[in-house]
Structures are given as structure tokens and as C-alpha cells.
Amino acid sequence: MSTTVSRTAEHLALAEAVTAHNYSPLPVVVTAAEGAWVTDVDGRRYLDCLAGYSALNFGHRHPALVAAARDQLDRVTLTSRAFGNDRLGPFARDLAALAGMDLVLPMNTGAEAVETAVKVARRWGYRVKGVPDGRARIVVAAGGFHGRTTTIVGFSTDPVARDGFGPFTPGFDVVPYGDAAALRAALTPETVAVLLEPVQGEAGVVVPPPGYLAAVRAACDEAGALFVADEVQSGLGRTGATFACDLEGVTPDVYVLGKALGGGILPVSAVVARRDVLGVVTPGSHGSTFGGNPLAAAVGHAVVRLLETGEYQARARELGARLSARLSELVGSGVTAVRTRGLWAGVDVDPALMNGAEACRRLAACGVLTKDTHGSTIRLAPPLVVTEEELDWAVDRLAAVVTGQTAGSSPR
């Protein structure tokens, strides 16, 4: 019997010993990637159907994004915002235009952008709406996920995210997601904003009822409150449109963007809004040493250029329709429900067969990487560069896993 220890086992053991246990990763250690595929340290290849929780919408190492980063690495990577740089202005101009807005406030991570939007909404409430100081309230939705800071987890309804991290920041009112009447009832003269995801990603790709986003828009208009759309996961092509709000013909007052904005190369996020909203930010009131750095702006600008063509939004629509049709065939055969929006799906595995974590482990064993959430749900979010053949191959593997059949090997 061989006593050889795989390199995967060695790396997993090392990480287990020296990193905090805030994740429970699948037993896969990636060392290289390209497009929709990754290779582990033992030479096994996997189709990436998670895409970094939509941070890799354009696939691993997209040539245009790598070229933008490589070119900028030879010039300048960081100036801080104490000085200007020649990449920030063009990036912000074109991102604002893509969103149909006026101004961009660049940050780094999605959570930072959400925190920034909270600060902006509060200051707008005091300085523009006239809410008494310290009284501003923000309505949020149950089941939402907006990040991991203490302010954000304070209004989360996930006990795992909250446990042991209080006391929490006041000023948030939680209403059921998708319930327009409950949201409207929660609005008061002191409400400065409604903050929600147009599609709840971490909750399992939960799509609101038709007309919900329009009802939110109307309620905000009537109450004189801002509609802040957290499109960190749903935005930038994932749902078959530039923004998930576009699918309902709705324009929020504020977009919160991240993940795919960094092209899978580095963290880039932004708050994008009208001038009358972001204009309340003044020098010294908010900032970030790395926010808007030349390297981030160069990569973010290259992402905007990819989206300006409409190619990736169209791919998400077309492949998403195929994914939805294929997954729907599994309902009643190991799957209890499916929800899709573009190239993004939440699949509820029959809990009588296995939980989501076990389904993901079995999928990984046959070459498909994804991740579970909330018990029996798995999420599928392959890069938008995935091919039809690869997508079919992944769904075939999922069908084999949930029905107990034997899955084949990689198509290439």
C-alpha cells in the first residue's frame, strides 16, 4: 500500500494549522486556472461553477484584464488619494456612464462599498432630507447578505453571522424580502434609504416576485428615501443584464458594486450614484488608502469596456436560459426546487438524499466546483465565458450526483 501523501492533503493540513477557521472549504487546492477551468496541486482539473461568488464573471485570467493589470504594474500601482492618478478619472467616468449615474466613490471590497453606501445615505438624510441628527433609519430585507462588518452583520437575519459579535449598530429595520406591503409599512419620515439585493445571492439565488423592485422604487419615491441596490453579486452581467435592476426596468438611486468589478484579479468596489446623493461626501468625511488606486482603476476600466459591448450580458441570457431548462428537468429527481436569474441558479437538493455540502463534495469528486448555502441549497454561477458544452457537462454531473448514478470524467 502506498504511503504517499498527496500535495492536496499537505496544503490543506498546513492551512488548517496556520489560518483562522472562518471557512470550511472543499478539499481542493487550486494552483492554476484559465477561463472556466482550474487545476489543483495534484494535476486534477475542475470546471469552476462558483466563479468566486461572481467575482470571476469574465473567467480566470481573462486576457484583456490580465493585460490591463500587467501594463499598469509596469507604471504605478498606488498613489493613495492624497494625489491624483491618470487611471481613476477615465475609470470613474465610464463606470458612471455604464450605470447611467453621475459620480463614483471607489473602494476595495464589497463590504466596504456597502458601509460607504450606509454612510452616504445617512448623511444625505441629514443634509438633504432634513432628518434630525442621529435619527436616520434604513430599511433592509430579511435573508439578505451585504458583508461581514459589525454594522452589516448587525442587521443580518443569519444567526451564524451575528453570534458573538454584538453590540450592533442601531438604525435598521428588517422586513420580509419580496413583501412590498411590509416594506411600505416600515417606511417613516426618518427612513433615509431602503437597502436590498435585487436578487439575494447568499440566500440561495432568491428572486423576488415580479413587480417587487418597481414597488420598492415607488415606495421610496413616495417616502422621499433612497433606493440603494446592492449589486455586488448580481451586477455586471451575471443576470443577463448589466444590472439585475435592469431586468425589472428599475433604476435605483445608488448602485453598490464589487466582486466582478475587479475582474478576479484584485478587490475593486464602488458606490455609483447621482451627484445630488454622492455630493454630500466632502474631503475628510470618508476615504480609503487603496480605493481608486491606479492598478484597481486600470482593471476596473477594462471590466467596464468588456461590459460596454453587451457580449457578456447576452451570453448570460442565452446560457442562462439553457441552464434553467436543464435544471428544471431535475425537479422531482433529487431536486426539490430551482431558481434562476441569467447564468445564476439556486438548486435545492432533496434533503432526504443529502445536504448541500455533501452534494458539493460529490460534485467536486467528479470535476465540478460549487458551494452550498443554507442546508440543502447549492449555487451555480459559472463564469460567463463557459461554453454550452461545458454547461451541459456540469448539469449532467449534477444529475448523476442527485440520482446516485456514476458520473464521467472531464470533457477535456
The catalytic site residues sit at: 145, 230, 259
Sign of CA dihedral 259, 263, 265, 268: negative
d(CA 353, CA 247): 35
Q: Are 91 and 257 in contact (CB under 8 A)?
A: no
Q: Are 233 and 201 in contact (CB under 8 A)?
A: yes
End-to-end CA distance of the chain, in Å?
30
* Selection from 289, 237, 371 nearest residue 79 by Cα: 289
Q: Are 226 and 192 in contact (CB under 8 A)?
A: yes
**218 residue type, one letter:** A
Question: With b meaning 16 or more CB within 10 Å and e meaning fewer, what string describes 107-121?
Answer: bbbbbbbbbbbbbbb
